[in-house]
Amino acid sequence: MIVRRCAPVAILITLAMLTACGGGSAASAPAANSAKAPTADEVTTTLIGKIPTVKLVKAYTAADDPNHLLGRPNGYTSKTAFADNRVPADQVEGSAADDTTRGGSVEVYADAAGAKTRMDYIQAIGKASPLFSEYDYVNGGVLVRVSHLLTPDQATNYEAATKSLAS
């Protein structure tokens, strides 16, 4: 007789505890995650404001992204290509207007780990073949890729601009 009375009470207590545990987690999410990450367009606009030799060339969509990473699993959430008029024109003849060697690109990831993983991958390719080397700067989920045709002093402009981004 006692078992019959206790079982419904035990079930109600268990359900109440599960509901309380499930409902509280969303309300206590960290405030740091509420900050909206910048888009590649916004980052490129910042670069243009800090480095007058930069101009936006292209904002990519998932349909025309040459790397097929935009919006895909482990890929970036937005990407742009930019040109820098300090890159010697004779060094980029025949390359596409949006080629990274003409200036660079901005790739924005969902988190810092995604940007760092991509940078490490690109750096490994550059070590294997110097023709593909480039300057890469990460701040949070933002990866700024810069042409190896710029001098180290010129590339420091991008390093400083990337560091100044809110992360």
pLDDT at 12 over 80: no
**Residue 32 confidence (pLDDT):** 45
Of the two residues 79 and 10, the one the predictor is more confident about is 79
pLDDT tens per residue, range 88-112: 999 999 999 999 999 999 999 999 9
Q: Structure tokens of 124? A: 């490994």
How much is the mean pLDDT over the chain? Answer: 84
Q: What are phi and psi of 92, to 5 degrees?
A: -120, 15
Residues 6 or more apart whose CB falls under 8 angstroms from that of 119 comprise 136, 138, 143
Q: What are phi and psi of 33, to 5 degrees?
A: -75, -10
- Tell me how far CA of residue 151 lies from CA of 11, 40, 49, 102, in angstroms: 70, 24, 20, 13
Give the mean pLDDT of 99-128: 97
